[in-house]
Structure 1
Amino acid sequence: MAVVGTPTSATAKNMAVFIDADNLNDPTALDHVLLAVRSMADRITYRRAYGRPESLKSIHAVLWRHGVRPVANLIVDKTTTDSALVIDAVEAVCTNDIDIVAICSGDADFVPLAIWLREKGCKVLCYSLANKIFANPDSFYDDVVLLDVVEPKEEVALEAPLLSQSAVMQGAEAHTPELAVANPVPAARATTAGTAATKAKTPQVKATVVSGPSVKKILSILPELKDKAPMHLSQVAQRLRDGGVLAPNAKPILLFRRHPAQFELKPEHQPNTVRYRG
């Protein structure tokens, strides 16, 4: 069974994973990504994370668990994360037979890299926190996986006087299913009705693969577009929703911008019509 949010069509002989730790530095989300990519290739040749020392420190346990090499920024006035990642990604593809490259960042600065990698024949994936992704990423990546980390509510008993605030854990320890009891107590007291430990559940990751219908599918729902006459987006949106290819609250603009060679949006800055170029 594929991990939730994994592009099931993505398989490769060799894969490279490059992590922008200044952008994707949530340990739970990153752990989900690294688990997901394991089944996507025979071998992951490159596993590297780039960022400021404090960014890398926040995810060090996950990097160690998955054998990811941390690459700290040079000590200069400007952040060097993006440049170091791009240089290593280009070198990796030029010197190895890489089929898939996963860029773990929602930063738009990696768009030129994604385009270059696709021109070289690589399948390029983007993994990003949903609140840190730039607009229209699926126009540049073959697959985009957006991650939401959901913190579960703690189940606390009405009477739990034996726990102290110092029992709250951080980092990798946050995955422990139960908080430690601050002071040992006699068994008789521990079994008294109403006494229970606070349980901290592991945060869950909701991952969604951003995808859209093909041009052929769009034209099958909107055959009028084949006449190459402009159609108003409000009319188009309703038809696409009725056809099951557009979510109730989604905007059709993003869908058509995935296919700039086939569809023209007008006016450019605030489009309200779409025309099929043919």
Structure 2
Amino acid sequence: MNSNKRVMLLIDADNVSADVIEQAVDRVKGEHGAIHVRRAYCTAESAVTHIKLFKTHSIRPIVNLSSGKNSTDIALAVDAIDLVLAERPDVVVIVSSDSDFAPLVIRLREKGCRVEGIGQQGKTGDDSKPVYDDFIDLPHRKGRAAAKAPAKRAAAGGRARPAAAAPEPEPALPEEVQAVLAALPELRAGSKLELRVAAERLRGAGLLAKSGASTKLFKKHPALFALTPDKQPNKVQYRGARGA
């Protein structure tokens, strides 16, 4: 993790869910240490819907009042170029599953930026991922907000409605596995992670020696971590992720 890097996070808030936005902010902060520019591009309706989320994470909403199918995408692209010229960031992270941003990604890289992408699992086409220096899909965790809400009382009797049954807890995990999942939270969420990214972050967390191979660490727990493809693995996935 290099806290001296300047990082911009640009979110296509009309394209991904609020839960994915929240996960994206946490992931970028965890990987880069700080986010210097945080902007979300959306319609006025989306801005109202996400206002609490934007306040919580200090995201500046850029409201698009223009009509047209791609008007929000264009607003994000124009602003990205202006910001890169003015702020000279080291890393630009675009949160969107839209493949239309490929020309923007190429132009930002020409300006000297590393360009990373975050999409919503199930919405991103495979052809839009290779253009980024790194790309990851995050799952939309349905019902997450509802699970946090307290049980409501009936208007007449004042009797609390029965809460939904809590999910069964995961079996106790080895301390080493718990530490790995803490350093790589997207694995617990069910996402696949590139081994080179995993290795960098495991070294940063002190879980992997400078010359150590992440594959050896994951192979110590074959029941919990899957390496793909079999012959020359370049990605890892947590087998214990719920719903994976």
Fold similarity call, TM over 0.5: yes
Q: C-alpha deviations, 1:137-194, integer Å up to 9, x for none?
A: 3321111110112336xxxxxxxxxxxxxxxxxxx963534322224869xxx7xxxx
Candidates 97, 100, 107, aligned match of 2:91: 100
CA–CA distance in structure 1, aligned partners of residues 155 and 230 of structure 2 = 61
CA contact (8 A) 2:153 2:161 kept: no
- The 5 Å alignment of 1:102-251 reads 102-151=93-142, 174=146, 176-183=148-155, 197-199=162-164, 206=189, 208-209=191-192, 211=194, 241-245=229-233
CA–CA distance in structure 1, aligned partners of residues 2 and 137 of structure 2 = 16
Name 2:205's counterpart in structure 1.
none
Q: C-alpha deviations, 1:242-270, integer Å up to 9, x for none?
A: 415278xxxxxxxxxxxxxxxxxxxxxxx
- C-alpha spacing 1:52/1:200, structure 2 compared with 1 (3 Å): farther
The structure with the largest alpha-carbon Rg is 1
CA contact (8 A) 1:102 1:124 kept: yes
Is 2:27 aligned against 1:44? no
Greater than 6 Å deviation, 4+ residue runs: none
Percentage identity across aligned positions? Answer: 29
Name 1:17's counterpart in structure 2.
9
Candidates 55, 63, 67, aligned match of 1:72: 63
Higher strand share: 1
Q: C-alpha deviations, 1:117-152, integer Å up to 9, x for none?
A: 222221111111112212233321111110112336
2:15 is paired with a residue whose SS is coil
Name 1:61's counterpart in structure 2.
52
Structure 2: gaps (5+ residues): 168-184, 197-227, 236-244
1:132 is paired with a residue whose SS is coil
Q: Letter of the 2:114 partner, please give it.
A: K
Q: C-alpha deviations, 1:94-136, integer Å up to 9, x for none?
A: 1113011110001111111111122222111111111221223
1:144 is paired with a residue whose SS is strand
Q: C-alpha deviations, 1:55-86, integer Å up to 9, x for none?
A: 33332221111111111113335541111111
CA contact (8 A) 1:105 1:126 kept: yes
- C-alpha spacing 1:30/1:10, structure 2 compared with 1 (3 Å): farther
Name 2:239's counterpart in structure 1.
none
Is 2:74 aligned against 1:83? yes
CA–CA distance in structure 2, aligned partners of residues 77 and 52 of structure 1 = 11
CA–CA distance in structure 1, aligned partners of residues 131 and 39 of structure 2 = 22
CA–CA distance in structure 2, aligned partners of residues 200 and 75 of structure 1 = 45
- C-alpha spacing 1:77/1:100, structure 2 compared with 1 (3 Å): closer
CA–CA distance in structure 1, aligned partners of residues 34 and 91 of structure 2 = 11
- How far apart are residue 200 of structure 1 and its match? 8.2
CA–CA distance in structure 1, aligned partners of residues 42 and 98 of structure 2 = 13
Name 2:180's counterpart in structure 1.
none
- C-alpha spacing 1:241/1:78, structure 2 compared with 1 (3 Å): closer
How many residue pairs match? The answer is 185
Q: C-alpha deviations, 1:209-263, integer Å up to 9, x for none?
A: 55489xxxxxxxxxxxxxxxxxxxxxxxxxx84415278xxxxxxxxxxxxxxxx
Name 2:21's counterpart in structure 1.
30
Higher alpha-carbon deviation: 49-58 or 100-109: 49-58
CA contact (8 A) 2:54 2:60 kept: yes
